[in-house]
Amino acid sequence: MSIENIYDINNTSDYKYSDIKKAVDKFKKEYSISFRERVQSVVELLSKDSRKNVINLSNNLLKFLDKYHSEVSRVNSMYEFDREILRKKGLNILCGVDEVGRGPLAGPIVSASVVLDLNVLEEKMILEIKDSKKLSKKKREELDLIIREKALSFNIELLDNKVIDERGIAWCNNEVLKRASEGLKVKPELVLSDGYPIKKGNIRNEYVIKGDNKSASIACASIIAKVYRDNIMKEYNETYPGYGFDSNVGYGAQKHIDSIKSQGPCKIHRKSFLTNILEK
């Protein structure tokens, strides 16, 4: 007998273990915080089954619930970080902005800015957001789509290797953050930047050390900037094979450095970053 909904289970002995497991797995995928009270009775029911594997499902479901609500609490603290800043300053809208690609030997520097609805209910928050470097490639790509869908506004800007060589990475780092935050369709009253103040910007700015682990808005900006740049470098790998851009995304991995020495730089390399490499 199949189970359409986990709440249909009234007597576990009426069902096969495989059917119960399928219902539990489906429930996990569809779970939201509003289900919390209703599921407790199901957990208790499963725990009273005579079969060990069904009892294990009950224990696993409890672990899932604990992990889920711990994550909700963590992410809510990131949303609250942003809300508290707005409350203290008497403002209504802020954006988070972050950059990726400051240190690579090739490719552009990219910045993203994000305006979130910070007053959403807990079940509508974007879970699992954090410093993009701490997420797997698959998870970043999943979150990138969610952020783009749920954000009130987002903007992505880049400066290529030619501008980096002409103006220097420090100028480009500031400029790309400035452009990303000022190009939003929903105009923020405050820009939270990760790690660096934005100089000569037209919007009030505060910088947050390790902001992508504290601020929901900065974390979301970090993720979409990283995904955007990684995809650019993946495309460049097709145009300029041999440098491993699909894996090193332009950073100075040893194989990348060896390729520069053996076949010389390509059109997207930052010549100003290669002086020591080419002289050796």
Q: Render the burial of 244-261: b for 16+ CB within 10 Å, e for the rest.
A: bbeebbbbeeeebbebbe
Contact 110, 99 (CB under 8 A): yes
Report residue 4's pLDDT band, with 50, 70 and 90 as the boundaries. low
- CA–CA gap between residue 25 and residue 53 (Å, rounded): 14
- Tell me what the mean pLDDT of segment 139-144 comes to: 97
pLDDT for 54 equals: 87
Give pLDDT tens digits for 69-98: 999 999 999 999 999 999 999 999 999 999
CB atoms within 10 A of CB 231: 13
Contact 203, 190 (CB under 8 A): yes
Report residue 35's pLDDT band, with 50, 70 and 90 as the boundaries. low
Residue 165, marked binder:
no
pLDDT for 3 equals: 60
Q: Which of 4, 203, 5, 168 is nearest to 97 (CA)?
A: 203
DSSP per position, 120-181: --GGGS-TT---GGGS-HHHHHHHHHHHHHH-SEEEEEEE-HHHHHHH-HHHHHHHHHHHHH
pLDDT for 7 equals: 67
Mean pLDDT estimate for the chain: 92
Residue 128, marked binder:
no
Report residue 18's pLDDT band, with 50, 70 and 90 as the boundaries. confident
- Tell me what the mean pLDDT of segment 242-266 comes to: 96
Residue 99, marked binder:
yes
- CA–CA gap between residue 101 and residue 122 (Å, rounded): 33
Q: What is the 3-state secondary structure (H, E, C) of 218-236?
A: HHHHHHHHHHHHHHHHHHH
Contact 126, 175 (CB under 8 A): no
- CA–CA gap between residue 114 and residue 178 (Å, rounded): 13
Taken in order 6, 7, 8, 12, the sign of the CA dihedral is positive
- CA–CA gap between residue 210 and residue 71 (Å, rounded): 19
Q: Which residues pair with 100 in a beta bridge?
A: 110
Contact 68, 125 (CB under 8 A): no
- Tell me what the mean pLDDT of segment 53-80 comes to: 92
pLDDT for 164 equals: 98
At residue 94, φ and ψ (nearest 5 deg) are -130, 160
Q: Domain segments of the chain: what residues?
A: 6-75, 91-279
Assign domain 91-279 to its CATH architecture: 2-Layer Sandwich (3.30)
Give pLDDT tens digits for 211-233: 999 999 999 999 999 999 999 99
- pTM, two decimals, is 0.90
